[in-house]
Structure 1
Amino acid sequence: MQLILVRHAQPQRIHGTAAPDMHGTAVAADPDLTEIGVQQAGRVPGVLAPHRVARVVSSPQLRARETARPTAEKLGLDIDICDGLAEYDRDLPVYIPIEDAQREFQQVYERIKAGYIPEQIDADAFRARVLDTVAAITAAADHTDTVVAFAHGGVINVLLQDVLGLERPLTFPIDYCSVTRILYSRSGRRTAATVNENSHVWDLLPRGLRS
C-alpha cells in the first residue's frame, strides 16, 4: 500500500490563547489557515489526482483538518480523524510558524533545524504515539490502497526517521502542503519513495514569496 503524507498549509500565528479553562489549564493554540494557506490547500487535490485514494485521514488539529478538506471534498471521501497524528506542540498555548521562530525564538529554532524536538517535549512518547498510529492506519488498509494522511512536519519526520533508520528525529525540512510518499510491501518492507515534493506550491511557500 501507499501512504501519502501531506503537511498542513500555512497556519495563522497565535500569540497566546484566551483565559484558562474552568480547571485553570491553559487552552492549547489551534490555529486556522492564513489566506495563503487556503490557496496552498487548494492545490493539493491536483497533485494527488494521479493516485486512486481509498481513504483520507487527518490530525485533529485545525490546520491539518482544513488542509484536508479540499482534497476530501474533491474525492467525495470523509476525513477520518486520527488523534495520534497530532503534532508535538498540540498542548502549547502559543503557535509561532517556524519561519517566524527563526527571527524571534532563535534558540528553539536552531534546535529544530539541528534535527531535534524542543526540550520541553517528551520526544520518546511523541515518536511512539506517531508510529503506533501509522501502524494502525496501514494495518487497516488493503495492500493495493493509497491512504492520504494530513499531518505535521514533526509527525512526518519521525516516521521518516523510523523508515530510514536515521539518528535525528527532525532530519528533513517539510514544506507546507508538501507530499511525502511511503510504500509498504506485503512482506512489511517500507520504502520512502519521495520526500517533501513541493513544486505544486513552490510559489506560495515563504521562501518562494520572498524570491
Structure 2
Amino acid sequence: MRMRSSLRSLTGRRLRSNPMDLLLVRHGLPVRVEGAEGPADPVLTDEGRRQSERLAEWLAHEHIDHLMSSTLRRAQQTAAPVGDRLGLGVELVQGLSEFDADADSYIPIEELRQTRDPRFFALVEGRWDELGSTVDPSAFADLVHTTIEGVIERFPGQRVAVVCHGGVINLYLGRILGAERHLWFEPGYTSISRVAASRDGHRTIVSLNETAHLIATRVR
C-alpha cells in the first residue's frame, strides 16, 4: 500500500510539473483596407476563412484546454471555427491585439514587401508611426510579454491556443531568443508557433511557423 501511495505521489508531481503548451496562431488572410473612417480592423477574405477552417480541422486532433483571441476581427474570425470544432468558447484579450489596431489602413505585409513600399521598411525598422500606429514599439513589446506571461501563469500544465497577430508573435518569441529587431520573421497566415513554458520561468520554442494544415490532412 505504501508503494502504491508513493507511485501516486510521484505521478502527481510529474503531472503538476508538466510544461504549459502555448500555441501562438496568426490570423487568416484579411481584406485590404486603406483610408477607412476610423480603425481599419479588417475581416477575413474568403481565403482567410478557408485557412481558418483547415486550422480548426488540424487542431481537432489535439487536446486544447483553452482558446483565446485578440479582440480584432481578423483574429476573432480565425478563432471562431476552431472554437466550434473543438467545442470551446473563445476568450477575448485586449492585450493580444496588434500594434496597428487604431490605424485607418491595413495593407498585407507581403504586398508591402513585394512592392518595396517604404512602409515595409518603416515596419521592420520600428518606425510604426509611419503606418498609422500610435504605440511605442518598446512599450508594446512589454505589453505583449506581460499579457502572454499572464496567460501562461493562468494555465499551468495545460495546452492553450492563442490567436493573435504577426507582430505579437514576433515580439514574444523574439524576447525568448534575444532578437535585436522587433520584427524578425514573417509568420504565415494561420501558422502555429509552439512554446513549452515551465513553472520555473524557462521558455522553449518547440516549433516556428507551422503551416502543414494548409496543404495536408491530419489523420491522427
Q: Mark yes or no: TM-score above 0.5.
A: yes
The Cα of 1:167 is off from its aligned counterpart by: 1.1
2:173 match: 160
Please show how residues 179-190 of structure 1 align to structure 2 within 5 Å: 179-190=192-203
TM superposition outliers: structure 1 runs of 4+ over 6 Å: none
SS across alignment from 2:65:
strand
Shift in alpha-carbon separation, 1:118–1:50, aligned structure 2, 3 A:
farther
Residue 67 of structure 1 pairs with residue 78 of structure 2? yes
Whether the 8 Å contact between 1:51 and 1:146 is mirrored in structure 2 is no
Give the one of 120, 138, 143 matched to 1:124. 138
Shift in alpha-carbon separation, 1:88–1:202, aligned structure 2, 3 A:
farther
Compute the TM-score of the two structures, normalised by the length of structure 1: 0.86
2:208 match: 195
Residue 171 of structure 1 pairs with residue 184 of structure 2? yes
Shift in alpha-carbon separation, 1:175–1:106, aligned structure 2, 3 A:
same
- State the distance in 2 between where 1:111 and 1:199 align: 31
- State the distance in 2 between where 1:124 and 1:6 align: 22
- State the distance in 2 between where 1:156 and 1:110 align: 19
- State the distance in 2 between where 1:84 and 1:6 align: 15
2:27 match: 8
Percent identity between matched residues is: 36
Instruction: Name structure 2 gaps, 5 residues minimum.
Output: 1-19, 130-134
Give the greater-gyration-radius structure (CA).
2
| Cα-Cα RMSD | 1.6
Compute the TM-score of the two structures, normalised by the length of structure 2: 0.82
Work out the number of aligned pairs and report it: 192
Give the one of 47, 51, 61 matched to 2:58. 47
Instruction: Name structure 1 gaps, 5 residues minimum.
Output: 19-26, 204-211
- State the distance in 1 between where 2:53 and 2:191 align: 12
- State the distance in 2 between where 1:175 and 1:154 align: 12
Query: Residue type matched to 1:146 in 2?
Result: R
